[in-house]
Structure 1
Amino acid sequence: MLAAMPRTSAPPPPRQPVPRRDRGDACPGSLRLHTADDGALARVRIPAGVLTVSQARTLMDAARRLGDGALHLTSRGNVQLRGLAPDCGQELAGVLADAGLLPSVRHERARNIVASPLSGLESPAAADVHAWARELDSLLCACDAAAELSGRFLFAFDDGRGDVAGLGADVTLIASPDAGALLCAGGAREVLVVPPEHAARCALLAAETFLGAARDAGTGAWRVAELPGGPSAFVRAVAERLSAAGITAAARERAEPLTSGTGPEPGVVPAPDGRAALSVEAPLGLITAGQWSLLTRTALHDGAGELRLTPWRGVVLPGLGPDSARTRLAELSAAGMITAADSPWHGVGACIGRPGCAKSLADVRADAAPAPGTGRGLPVYWSGCARRCGHPHGDWVDVVATAGGYDISVRGERLRDTMNDPSEFAATVAEARTTPLPQ
């Protein structure tokens, strides 16, 4: 048996030395294509993951005409197009702009916004943080300074359920029924209580504060955690900035740490108005043209006409009737989507691996067969190298390819010696996911 491990999220690691960066980040975007072994890659930012049916169809059409014919969902609810020709950038930009997916050329990599996918769908009394996300996107695109944000800087709007609050965002706003909105930054224990009607503006002011602090420090910081003074000093600076802008912000300490939340479970999600939402996931984050066509048809003819991409590489379709939701769920299951939490693919992720990435030491997607048992328990993530691109937050079963096989660990604690027998490491992964862990 594996050694027992704590179930709660690990305490924050010791503060690392502040990095000094002499260049901007290399994150790809819609206009800045990244060259990979399987062709060029474009990352299309989808603020809060919300797409209209028309936009969704435009993305798949671009993937089929210009790329590998599939959509690749990311851990921030964005979409990647892979296998692109290196000279297709201008055509792709025009297609995305015409669909409303590129509202500002200068800000396209700064529009990193995640939001609780089910916000506004389950309880009429709960805050709909998607309105905050829409407002912030507009504010970002109208702010000259915001164009300087790195492609890694992340905003999160959590409706109080704790799902996106633990995704490691640089600026997080959490709806609170008794306190309005809580502004958190970079994992600091201190939070600011701000008026909910100013949530989006507070997020932008916090980002502007970060840019000023990074410029003053001269370290080229990409994220709040990289600021020399640390997140707590940054929160104090944000409080001063908000006060100067005429926004009341009361400081207090968080009662509990921000733990890594989980996304909506696959299945039918009932709503108080008698409608329902469909929640499904894409195995290893890849959606085929046929699966996407079924999703968009369902959203258009049965739902509210929108798709919500989640940071857990899933899709939520709101506004369906309960009978229709159950029928479409069965169709999506037959099409290969993850439609139940007991699916062995639920919680399994992987980077692109070989042959798409030159740095990968293995074809992790071919090796990442679902472990025996169900998808309950810790998520598992397969990485082709030690960079662990796209890994989840919090605790996960960490499967990393090495020159001699795979290392499997949790929280940096190695579970077995390096293995290269697929049946052996599949069993180890399954046990690590489901072994009861003490508090």
Structure 2
Amino acid sequence: MTRGVPDSCPGALRLHEAADGPLARIRVPGGRLDSAQLQALAESARDLADGNIELTSRGNVQLRQVRDAAELTDRLAAVGLLPSRTHERVRNIIASPLSGRVGGLSDVRALVPALDAGLLAAPRLADLPGRVLFTLDDGRGDVSGLGADIGVHAICAEEFALLLAGRDSGVRLPAADTVDVMLAAAHGFLELRGEDAGRWRLDDIEQGADRVVDLLGLSPVADRLELPGARSLPIGWLEQDDGLVSLGAGVRLGCLPARTAEFLAAVERSIFVTPWRGLVVTDLEEWAAEQVVRVLAPMGLIFDADSPWLLVSACAGQPGCAKSHTDVRADVSDAVDTGRVLPAAYPIEHGADDRHSEPEDSAHQHVSERPPIAATDISVAGRQHWSGCDRRCGRPRGEVTDIVATDKGYRID
């Protein structure tokens, strides 16, 4: 598959001209932010952007309505968030957020900086599209289902499966070889991609995964791992293996206010941005964890795993996106606030979702023929993604009900 156009994924230096102003996306390998970095992001959001830090589905962050790109660049570089001007868009690395602290088969924490350093050290890898994704799963299966172009999944403490194009390639690696092989696979992707800038992902190349294995000169095994689908979010009180506590926090629609981020930075612990648009605050004494919850829950962070906010996601919508038909974030927020986002097991017997139990003889009806639904009439159970148009940007993987805006109202797919 080729799209015919180069990848235009934004970065910290190449901003995206969104409908509401310039958008900067800052890569955060492994999702890890130290307190100085989080403080710098909070101040940049407040001083130079719209006052919020948006969390992305790759564990990165972005700022909207950036008013001074040069000043933002200087601030990011000063705290180590912009270690390279040539490679900054290709540092898309997701790692198991709880690795080395809570469970897992192998500690992948050291692999993150090693992989990042390897990417930065290879001039050729600056040509990777900004959409290429690397994952490091410690064996619990939390990030291997995210469709990485190149990833590893721990089978035991010292052995990993190589994932290519979102699937187990059959290649097995000793832990010490994982980073080198992942970097070699990235070079292989570029070799297969050639001059076709429209191939953004490894699965855009016919038999791309198998061809990368051939280039690596490695022999796959016959048995392949079945990678897990959607996983439970790390939310609430998480006891670490060393007796300390991590706190998993949900963030409403992935939008973290600068003021809340400043309070988090004041905790002075490593904080991980998760690919589920949440946060994990690590290495806390019990008394400190209690204080964090006491202060930050009233500020909007979600420590309750049953919160309906954890069931919803949304694209940017209006006014941030010119293609959106409506302000979907306002609509989904109203649905949560008015109790119309229901638990997954809730039997829906009213409202717009009655049509999900329509007779079999009408099941073939094309979605465009269904009557539009007003936002205030929508009541949906379980995981759901609200989109301002048919592109469905930001849609999470797994089973999700799609609530899609049209020029006349919403439809539910």
Instruction: Give TM-score, length-normalised by structure 1.
Output: 0.81
Rounded to whole Å, the distance in 1 between the matches of 2:127 and 2:69 is: 21
Which aligned pairs between 1:81-230 and structure 2 lie closer than 5 A? 81-85=63-67, 88-123=68-103, 126-177=105-156, 180-215=159-194, 218=196, 220-230=198-208
Q: What's 1:294 paired with?
A: 263
Q: What's 1:269 paired with?
A: 238
Q: Which region of structure 1 is more displaced relative to structure 2, 221-230 or 34-43?
A: 221-230
Instruction: Give TM-score, length-normalised by structure 2.
Output: 0.86
Does 2:330 align with 1:326?
A: no
Residue 105 of structure 2 contacts residue 140 of structure 2 at CA under 8 Å; is this kept in 1? no
Equivalent residue in structure 2 for 1:54, among 15, 36, 39: 36
Rounded to whole Å, the distance in 2 between the matches of 1:205 and 1:44 is: 25
Paired AA for residue 316 in structure 1: V
What secondary structure is seen at the aligned counterpart in 2 of 1:109? helix
Residue 171 of structure 2 contacts residue 220 of structure 2 at CA under 8 Å; is this kept in 1? yes
CA-to-aligned-CA distance 1:89-127 (integer Å, 9 cap, x gap)? 22211111111111110000000000000001114x842
Residue 170 of structure 2 contacts residue 222 of structure 2 at CA under 8 Å; is this kept in 1? yes
Residue 115 of structure 1 contacts residue 156 of structure 1 at CA under 8 Å; is this kept in 2? yes
Does 2:18 align with 1:36?
A: yes
1:178 Cα offset (Å): 7.0
Residue 388 of structure 2 contacts residue 404 of structure 2 at CA under 8 Å; is this kept in 1? yes
CA-to-aligned-CA distance 1:229-256 (integer Å, 9 cap, x gap)? 3433333333x2xxxxxxxx44124544
Rounded to whole Å, the distance in 2 between the matches of 1:73 and 1:293 is: 15
CA-to-aligned-CA distance 1:13-47 (integer Å, 9 cap, x gap)? xxxxx2252x3211100000111121100000000
Paired AA for residue 292 in structure 1: A
Equivalent residue in structure 1 for 2:52, among 70, 87, 93: 70
Which aligned pairs between 1:274-289 and structure 2 lie closer than 5 A? 274-289=243-258
Residue 194 of structure 1 contacts residue 250 of structure 1 at CA under 8 Å; is this kept in 2? no
Rounded to whole Å, the distance in 2 between the matches of 1:74 and 1:293 is: 19
1:263 Cα offset (Å): 5.1
Q: Which region of structure 1 is more displaced relative to structure 2, 337-346 or 374-383?
A: 374-383
What secondary structure is seen at the aligned counterpart in 1 of 2:88? coil
CA-to-aligned-CA distance 1:267-292 (integer Å, 9 cap, x gap)? 01001221110100110000112221
Rounded to whole Å, the distance in 1 between the matches of 2:306 and 2:38 is: 28
Rounded to whole Å, the distance in 1 between the matches of 2:106 and 2:124 is: 29
Which aligned pairs between 1:389-408 and structure 2 lie closer than 5 A? 389-408=393-412
Residue 190 of structure 1 contacts residue 254 of structure 1 at CA under 8 Å; is this kept in 2? no
Does 2:300 align with 1:336?
A: yes
CA-to-aligned-CA distance 1:197-224 (integer Å, 9 cap, x gap)? 12111111110000001117x4641110
- Closer, same or farther in 2 for the Cα pair 1:387/1:352, shift >3 Å? same
- Closer, same or farther in 2 for the Cα pair 1:82/1:234, shift >3 Å? same
Residue 345 of structure 1 contacts residue 375 of structure 1 at CA under 8 Å; is this kept in 2? no
Q: What's 1:379 paired with?
A: 383
Structure 2 gap ranges (5+): 346-380
Aligned residues: 373
Does 2:220 align with 1:251?
A: yes
Rounded to whole Å, the distance in 1 between the matches of 2:94 and 2:86 is: 20
Q: What's 2:318 paired with?
A: 354
1:76 Cα offset (Å): 0.4
Equivalent residue in structure 1 for 2:9, among 27, 38, 41: 27
Structure 1 gap ranges (5+): 1-17, 241-248, 410-439
Equivalent residue in structure 2 for 1:316, among 260, 265, 280: 280
Q: What's 2:356 paired with?
A: none
Rounded to whole Å, the distance in 2 between the matches of 1:258 and 1:407 is: 31
CA-to-aligned-CA distance 1:169-205 (integer Å, 9 cap, x gap)? 1001111117601101003453210111121111111
Q: What's 1:3 paired with?
A: none
